[in-house]
Amino acid sequence: MIICIGPRRQLANLGHLTPDFPAMVGHTYAWLFRTPVLPAATYLFWHIDRLDPAERRIAAKFYRHINGLGQGFRALNDPARAKGRLGVLETLNRAGINQFAAYAVADGTMPARYPVFLRRNTMSTPILTGLIADEAALRQEIDRLVAQGEPEDDLLVIEYAAEPMRGEIFRKMGVHRIGDAYIPYVNLYERNWIVNDGEPLLLTHEDHLADQALLHDFPYLDMARRAFELCHIEYGRLDFGLVGGIAQVYEINFNPHLRRMISKKTDPDPVRRANMSWVDGEKIKALHALDGGGRGSAPTLNLPELLRFRLMPWRNYAPERY
C-alpha cells in the first residue's frame, strides 16, 4: 500500500486512479499526528512546504520513525530537508544548474538582471505580475501587492528565464521522480511563457514524433537526478525549459498529477496519445515498485509536541488547514 500524506484538497488527486494503479490512499497531516498505529506502507509526504515549522518538525520525526520500522515501512520526502520553491531555486542557482536567480522580497535584495516577475513562495498559484522591466517598477509592484494584503515574507522575485521553441510557442518539459525511478514527462506547449495546461493542438504530427524520440532517449535525466538529490526530494515532478539549449529548472512539485493524461478530445494525434500512454505506464510501474507489500502495523510516535493534536483539539488548527 502507498499512503499519501497531504492537505485534504490535494488528496483529491487520488480520486482519478484507474485499477491498474497500486493501492493508494490519502490521509491528512492531522490524521498522521493522531493515528494510534501506522499501517505498513510506503508514505509519500506531499506539500511539506505548506507546513509551519512546528508541523514540519513533527512530520520529520514521523519520517524518521517510519523509515526505522523495518521491512514494509518506507517514507519519502524528508520534511526536515526537502526544499520548497525558494530553496529549490537558490540551491540550483548556486549549483550552476540554473542561470537565473530568485530572491525573497523580505530580504530586500534587488535582482541582478531584468526582467523579473513576482509570485508567492508557499502556494502553487498563478504569478502575481507580468514581466517587470526595472528596479523602480519592481518596487512599485511590491508596494502594490503588500498594500493589497500579500505577506511580504511570502513574495518572491524571480528572474525571467524562458525561450520560445519556435515562433510564439513555448515548451515546458519535466521529469517525475518516484523513489529510485526517473521518468520523463510529456512536453507541454503553449503560446505563453508561463506554460500551464498546454495547447496540444498547436503541434504537428512531426512535433509529436520528435517528442517520442526524445522520451526514449532523454538527455536531461542526469541533470534531473542531480537536482532532486541537491533539493532532497524523493518524490515529485521537476519542471524545466530550455534557454540557449540549457535546461533551466522552474520548480519541483511535491504532488504532481497521477491520473492518466490522455484526452481524445484534446489529444487527437495518435503519436501524442502513445507518448502519454508510455509515460503513464512507466509511472504506474514505478508506483508498484514503491509498494513494499508489507502487512500489519506498528506503534505511532509519542511526543510531548503531539499532545495538542491528540488531547487538545481546541488548540489545534491543523484540521482546518489540512
* Residue 27 reports pLDDT greater than 60: yes
- 276 within some domain: no
Q: How much is the average pLDDT of 5-33?
A: 87
- Cell numbers representing residue 137 in the block: 517598477
pLDDT of residue 210: 94
Does 241 share its domain with 221?
yes
Cβ proximity of 138 and 145 under 8 Å: no
Structural domains counted in the chain: 3
pLDDT band for position 50 (cuts 50, 70, 90): confident
- 136 within some domain: yes
- Cell numbers representing residue 145 in the block: 501587492
Does 195 share its domain with 141?
no
Cβ proximity of 37 and 297 under 8 Å: yes
Does 155 share its domain with 192?
no
- 91 within some domain: no
Residue where a domain stops, chosen among 253, 273, 301: 253
pLDDT of residue 317: 55
Does 184 share its domain with 247?
yes
pLDDT in tens, 89-142: 999 999 999 999 999 999 999 999 999 999 999 887 889 999 999 999 999 999
* Residue 9 reports pLDDT greater than 80: no
Residue where a domain stops, chosen among 133, 159, 185: 159
- 40 within some domain: yes
pLDDT band for position 13 (cuts 50, 70, 90): confident
Does 155 share its domain with 174?
no
Cα 290 to Cα 127, 200, 238: the distances in Å are: 34, 31, 19
Does 137 share its domain with 186?
no
Does 16 share its domain with 67?
yes
- 90 within some domain: no
pLDDT of residue 139: 97
* Residue 10 reports pLDDT greater than 80: no
pLDDT in tens, 260-312: 877 655 678 899 999 999 999 999 999 999 998 888 999 999 888 887 777 76
- 37 within some domain: yes
State the average pLDDT for the chain: 91
pLDDT in tens, 183-235: 999 999 999 999 987 887 888 889 999 999 999 999 999 999 999 999 999 99
Does 154 share its domain with 176?
no
pLDDT of residue 104: 97
Residue where a domain stops, chosen among 253, 276, 303: 253
- 282 within some domain: no
Does 235 share its domain with 306?
no
pLDDT of residue 113: 95
Does 8 share its domain with 55?
yes
Cβ proximity of 267 and 273 under 8 Å: yes
- Write out the residue range of the structural domain in which residue 45 sits: 2-82+291-321
Please tell me what DSSP assigns to residue 157. E
Does 153 share its domain with 177?
no
CA gap 136, 309 in Å, rounded = 47
User: Which parts of the chain fold into alpha helices (H)?
Assistant: 29-34, 53-67, 85-94, 135-147, 205-216, 221-230, 270-290, 307-310, 318-321
pLDDT of residue 171: 94
* Residue 40 reports pLDDT greater than 60: yes
- 258 within some domain: no
- Cell numbers representing residue 81 in the block: 530537508
Does 178 share its domain with 249?
yes
Neighbouring-strand partners of residue 37 = 299
